[in-house]
Amino acid sequence: MLSPRAPVYITHAPVPKIRHFALLAALEAGIRGMLLSVWPLVIYRAWGNAEAVSLIYLLAGFLSLGWGGLVPALARLIPRRWMTTAAVGLYLLGAMLGLTGTTAGMTAALISTTLGTVTFQICLSAYVLDYIARVDLGQNESLRLVYSAVPWSAGPMLGVWLMNLWAPLPFLVAAGFGIALLAAFWALRLGDGKQITRARAPAPNPVAYLGRFVKQPRLVAGWLFAVIRSCGWWVFIVYLPIFCIENGLGDQAGAVALSLANGLLFISGAFLRLVRRLGVRRSVQGSFFGAGVLFMVGALAAGWPWVAFGALLAASVLLVMLDVCGSLPFLMAVKPSERTEMAAVYASYRDVSGILTPAIAWGVLLVLPLSGIFGAAALGMAGAAALAGRIHPRLGVPRDGTKPLAQS
């Protein structure tokens, strides 16, 4: 007599939650946060002037922008899970190149890390748009910042401290975060996103989806907000540490400022509640305006280095506020049918800001001292504040009006 066959239970991969994407973002923040304050210092020490730092970052920005344009095309040939894996591989390659300590090796390490960043961000944004409901995007952004608070706040100061102990040490720690990120990604089994069937229609070429992007003013405005916000962070991250060194504040001052600024991520939930109360338009507009005023104070008070330092540190509070709400105008305007393409367009803000900032800084330094870069950033933020006045006042509120922005 045959024994009854045990039932076979069919299971499916668990649906990823907001906290899972926040975990991936936190591990990636561990890589970038550890090296964030290290890059400008090692490049400045190697070349000895801020103009060379600008040119190297400009080169990295151009390469990153070109690579970012190729990623969507590659994603149609290579499964998204392998593209994400390749992104982490670029992070690991950058860490290994950083161990060489040579000028060429450090430049190649910065470029590799930059390419890894744009690839990972495109893939992660596409996953988020696949699995997270539109009304929960604000909550996703807030939880991502909370999870990333520790690596972003501790990483810059710890990275410089480790570098002063032994130059290769921060790169080894960053490599450890990269291995953990790769393991977590595969453990979550995200696969290639929700759309697992092969498309019947031919893939749209990049020129076509860029044309659709340009024809949607809300997407263009949201992208510009991201570019200008990122330019502000570039100035804070790259040029404030150099300003501190040139004005006798020490090489740790910039790293401490960045760690303090990133420590505000711990209270990003409070920022989101403020956004719910004020609305997206007033939050974005007020943050850009206030940050612009403080950057201008930093430019005009350059003769009093600690005053300029304090003004830029205060401006970082508003930059963090923009990290919470500044991406919402773009993300909430994306059509579901254009998720992958528009995720690539949005991620390009990092590359564009990575080109604009050092290019403008290089031009400013030809005629003005380093503090002139702070003034240029202030003008850009004033323009963003004016543009933000055109955001619809009810953006982010569900149509029935029963639930405020991103409330869970």
Q: How confident is the model at residue 198 (pLDDT cuts 50, 70, 90)?
A: very low
For CA atoms 355, 358, 362, 365, give the dihedral sign: positive
Q: How confident is the model at residue 201 (pLDDT cuts 50, 70, 90)?
A: very low
Give the pLDDT of residue 8.
Answer: 46
Which range is most confident: 14-28, 105-119, 169-183, 235-249? 169-183
Q: How confident is the model at residue 196 (pLDDT cuts 50, 70, 90)?
A: very low
Q: Is the pTM of this model over 0.95?
A: no
Give the pLDDT of residue 336.
Answer: 67
Residue 226 has pLDDT above 80, yes or no: yes
With CA atoms as reference, report the closest residue to 34 among 190, 178, 194, 130: 178
Give the pLDDT of residue 102.
Answer: 79
Exposed, middle or buried: residue 315 (CB in 10 Å: 0-12, 13-18, 19+)? buried
Q: Give CA 406 to chain center in angstroms.
A: 21
Among 14-23, 151-160, 363-372, 386-395, name the one with the lowest average pLDDT.
386-395
Give the pLDDT of residue 169.
Answer: 93
The string of pLDDT tens digits covering residues 389-401 is 887 766 655 454 4
Give the pLDDT of residue 203.
Answer: 47
- If one compares 335 and 202, the residue with the highest pLDDT of the two is 335
Give the pLDDT of residue 404.
Answer: 46
Tokens representing 380 are 């850009």
Give the pLDDT of residue 217.
Answer: 82
The string of pLDDT tens digits covering residues 304-348 is 999 999 999 999 999 989 988 877 777 777 776 676 677 767 877
Q: Buried b vs exposed e over 85-97: b needs ≥16 C-beta within 10 Å?
A: bbbbbbbbbbbbb
Mean pLDDT of the chain: 83
| Mean of pLDDT values over 1-9 | 48
The rounded percent of the chain whose pLDDT value lies above 70 is 86
Fold of 18-194+202-388: Growth Hormone; Chain: A; (1.20.1250)
Among 101-115, 142-156, 262-276, name the one with the lowest average pLDDT.
262-276
Give the pLDDT of residue 245.
Answer: 87
Domain spans, the chain: 18-194+202-388
Give the pLDDT of residue 397.
Answer: 54
Tokens representing 187 are 């453990």
